[in-house]
Chains A and B, each alone.
Chain A
Amino acid sequence: MPNTAIALVQLGAVFFGLGLLGKLAWRIGISPIPLYLIGGLAFGQGGIVPLHGIEDFTHIASEIGVILLLLLLGLEYSAAELVTGLKRSWTAGVVDIVLNAAPGAIAALILGWGPVGALAMAGVTYISSSGIIAKVLGDLGRLGNRETPVVLSVLVFEDLAMAVYLPILTAVLAGVSFLGGLSAVGISLLAITVVLIIALRFGKYVSALVDSPDPEVFLLKVLGAALLVAGVAAQLQVSAAVGAFLLGIAISGSTAENATRMLEPLRDLFAAMFFVVFGLNTDPTSIPPVLGLAIALAVVTTLTKVATGWWAAKRQGIGRLGRARAGAALVARGEFSIVIASLAVASGGVDGELAALATAYVLLMAVLGPVAARVVEPLAKFTRKRGTEPATA
């Protein structure tokens, strides 16, 4: 077979396989992300069918996947929502960072991965998966619940924290000096401030620039703008993903809604590719040695997320059951933990085991999150009936 034909057959098989995995995942009520990772692991080194000739495509596709993940994350929020969310939830946000970044950082330090590894692992255990959580809240009919705005505002805070964290991480991974790191932080903070001001004051014009009544023109303009901004951001040592995120925030109103509707399937396609490529590049045999640690980390960070949600909900006057639900809802980790791990691994600046640990951790947490959200209520009621304190886990 000619090369193109082989590549097409392989790509087709990969996409079709991912489709089947995705269907299976939603049927059993979990996120498809762990299945995509397992799929990638299976087809990687020593896998069932080694893939040849599509590396160029899968590499760039997974890059686009990350850019689209963050662009759509930015599109989801308007600048006004971010600002009010920030005002309302910053204390809960700080508690969230302290409680959930610490276990990852400490684990990395114990393993001797140094401060850079600690910074990366802190991000992996800190960031909840807004994708999984929004889906689970919708599925369980909890959008009308009183504690849901608390959960959502914590997620908004996390996403803003990511916008600051990712450029810092990229700078640190690139091995820049302390001063260089500081200037990268300065540049990213400045960029975020400028984008927020532009979005608040002139969001209309940014939207008008990419808007078009013709779907084809619109899609090309939005995608083109995202890749352009991401590329320029990458050139400026700010992460490409952050550039896309900021562009997403600047686009608002009906333009943002149309863009979301149009780009969602594209994101799902390319993001799936991103998870597979991450799995492909991880050696499956490296997972068993770190599995025990991943389980320990999963247990600890489940408890810390529940504590975060419990505390945040309590501050808003939510009852005990609601606090337990808020805590359990925040447990899921997913796409962004993998984004962080892939940035860290790609730079080569961290220990190779980090990818294995992050993969095992996300495999556990992406499954555990939706399960925790489901079982928390019966569990809390059961413990209350027995006359004891409602479980905080």
Chain B
Amino acid sequence: MNVEVTPLPGIGTRQDFMIRAGRRIGVITHRDGKFELIVSSKDDPDNCSASIALTPAEAGTLAGLLGAPQLVAHLEEQHRDVAGISTRQFPIVPGSTFDGRTLGETELRTRTGASIVAVVRAGSVHPSPRPDFVFEGGDLVVVVGTADGLAKTADILDG
């Protein structure tokens, strides 16, 4: 991706790139640590139809939300050479069986052979969660296993 970096003297730095839809999208990093998300207008690529001020915490959360599928893709990449192993993410639906229960209670490894390698919650990634990790509705559970194991995992976590 061709990210253009433009210094804004006295203000900070702008980093943006052109997306396939023909709009510029990017981030202004202010000197004082604030961020601004910018999206160019459709009809006037020089102009911004939105510039949204974000605190560092908000920017981190947004990055996590956008980065979660990236994490799965990355794990997928790592396991590609291992025949028969793949990575998938499963949502914990609010109010479902495991909403509010621990990772250990799923007994996933024993029952399916698949492993939970990460949980994505509210935009931030919790890698290698321990058995006492408590799930919440809205969590995304990243699981690595065989096709069969992942199918069984889907049954268990959906229940």
Contact = CB atoms under 8 A, between A and B. Distances in A.
A binds B: yes
Interface of A: 76-77, 81-82, 84-85, 130, 134, 141-149, 152-153, 155-156, 257, 261, 318-319, 321-322, 325, 377
A153 B51 CA distance: 21
Interface residues of B, number: 23
B7 interface: yes
- Of B7, B9, B44, chain A has the most CB atoms within 10 Å of the CB of B9
Contact of A145 (B10, B32, B47): B47
A49 B150 CA distance: 83
Contact of B7 (A144, A149, A257): A149
B26 interface: yes
Nearest to B44: A321
Contacts of A130: 10
Given A77-B9, A130-B10, A134-B10, 18 more contacts: A76-B9, A77-B10, A143-B11, A143-B51, A144-B16, A144-B26, A145-B48, A146-B45, A146-B46, A146-B47, A148-B8, A149-B7, A152-B8, A319-B44, A319-B46, A321-B46, A322-B47, A377-B47
A322 B26 contact: no
14 contacts: A85-B9, A130-B10, A141-B48, A142-B48, A143-B14, A146-B46, A146-B47, A148-B8, A149-B8, A152-B10, A156-B9, A257-B32, A319-B46, A322-B47
Nearest to A256: B31
A152 B45 contact: no
A308 B75 CA distance: 53
Contacts of B28: 143-144
Nearest to A143: B28
B47 A134 contact: no
Contacts of A144: 14, 16, 26, 28, 36, 38, 40, 48, 51
Nearest to A322: B46
Q: Give the dominant DSSP class at A's interface.
A: helix
- Of B8, B14, B32, B46, chain A has the most CB atoms within 10 Å of the CB of B46
A319 B45 contact: yes
Contact of A81 (B7, B14, B26): B7
Q: Which 7 A-B pairs have the closest CB atoms?
A: A144-B38, A322-B46, A141-B51, A146-B46, A76-B10, A144-B48, A81-B9
Contacts of A325: 46-47
Contacts of B7: 81, 84, 149
A321 B47 contact: yes
B6 interface: yes
Interface of B: 6-11, 14, 16, 24, 26, 28, 31-32, 36, 38, 40, 44-48, 50-51
B46 A318 contact: yes
A312 to B, nearest CB: 13
Contacts of A142: 47-48, 51
Contact of B8 (A141, A143, A261, A321): A143
A321 B49 CA distance: 14
Nearest to A261: B32
A325 B44 CA distance: 12
- Of A84, A134, A143, A325, chain B has the most CB atoms within 10 Å of the CB of A143
Contacts of B11: 134, 143, 152
Contact of B9 (A145, A147, A153): A153
A148 B36 CA distance: 15
B36 A143 contact: yes
A146 B41 CA distance: 11
- Of B31, B40, B44, chain A has the most CB atoms within 10 Å of the CB of B44
A84 B26 CA distance: 22
A374 to B, nearest CB: 14
B24 to A, nearest CB: 8
A146 B28 CA distance: 12
A318 B24 CA distance: 14
Contacts of B26: 144
Contacts of A84: 7
Nearest to B52: A141
Nearest to A321: B44
A325 B41 CA distance: 14
